[in-house]
Structure 1
């Protein structure tokens, strides 16, 4: 065996996991989402940055506001998922660096000029964290339905009116419903994606 992760865990996270398109009525608790976050917050980012912010959409009013900004094909599943997470980047994430990196005082002022902070460092690391979040949802035995098909400016105005956060991804979360999955699309083979030099 070449992987330390047992087969059951590999299947849960990768082999048997698919993007979900329908969800059952079974609720997803705040405790489940907290367990997901408490796991994935430990995954690596540059300089221990933690720019990802998660907005959980639960109430019918908030859901209606979100659905209004979803692409047409994403509206039905977003309307019926037990909970939907809007994943965003905190553009002021660097203000928390002193508490995250107490051994490196002054780091936020030295390396995080506004342009780099907003467009490169924050967005890159929040996107990395979004990938961890999807795996965390799977690790909780839940299905994730990540979507980029939405009006980002509309969602930002609706949920982040102060301009300090920018949405990256919307993820429906729950137990899979009937006909939840489409057939898995092909992936590149090892020899097509990996070069040894």
Structure 2
């Protein structure tokens, strides 16, 4: 595991990767969605919680339903993308810990403590959302992660039957159209935002 990735791989995942506002007409297959999950699921979460719950909006009906919950600026991005994805979090993730973290009673850590579960679900589903972006890029796809939505409306539209599931953020997915991106924004040098203690 000590081998350094090639510069081409690092460029694809980080340095030259961009967030896209529009996509080409090239489709995204269901196999590609499965491939993203099969990579991102290996990213670490605390006690292997895996609280993220993804809804892959591939149909026009699903994309329209999601777009109706977002800002006017985001609606065409969602409708026109090959796939739009809801990255949500399951506050009842602890029910799965006997399977996912079987060597100790990790479920007991969270039983009866909604505040702890909410904080942990948010933190770890956010990590998984980042793994989603990295996995998509590693597989030759592009993303457009965004806020600008009514969380309550998305939850009602997609998770009414799962009251413990709440939206974290949303993203579009496809083959990015280079004409849709802005000039590269600055990224500061190490010294600006880092401290070695």
Q: TM-score, normalised by structure 1?
A: 0.94
Match for residue 143 of structure 1? 142
| Runs (5+) with no aligned partner, structure 1 | none
Aligned to 2:54, the other structure's residue is in SS state strand
1:124 aligns to 2:93 (yes or no)? no
Aligned to 1:84, the other structure's residue is in SS state strand
Deviation at 1:174, TM superposition (A): 0.3
1:153 aligns to 2:152 (yes or no)? yes
Q: Deviations over 1:72-115 (max 9, x none)?
A: 111111110000110000111111100011111x2111345222
Deviation at 1:141, TM superposition (A): 0.6
Q: Deviations over 1:145-176 (max 9, x none)?
A: 00111111111000011322110111100001
Deviation at 1:133, TM superposition (A): 0.7
Aligned to 1:63, the other structure's residue is in SS state helix
Runs of 4+ in 1 over 4 A off after TM superposition: none
Match for residue 10 of structure 2? 10
The range that moved more, 88-97 or 169-178, is 169-178
RMSD, aligned α-carbons: 1.3
Equivalent pair of 2:94/2:110 in contact (CA under 8 Å): no
The range that moved more, 177-186 or 124-133, is 177-186
Q: TM-score, normalised by structure 2?
A: 0.94
Match for residue 89 of structure 1? 89
Match for residue 76 of structure 2? 76
| Runs (5+) with no aligned partner, structure 2 | none
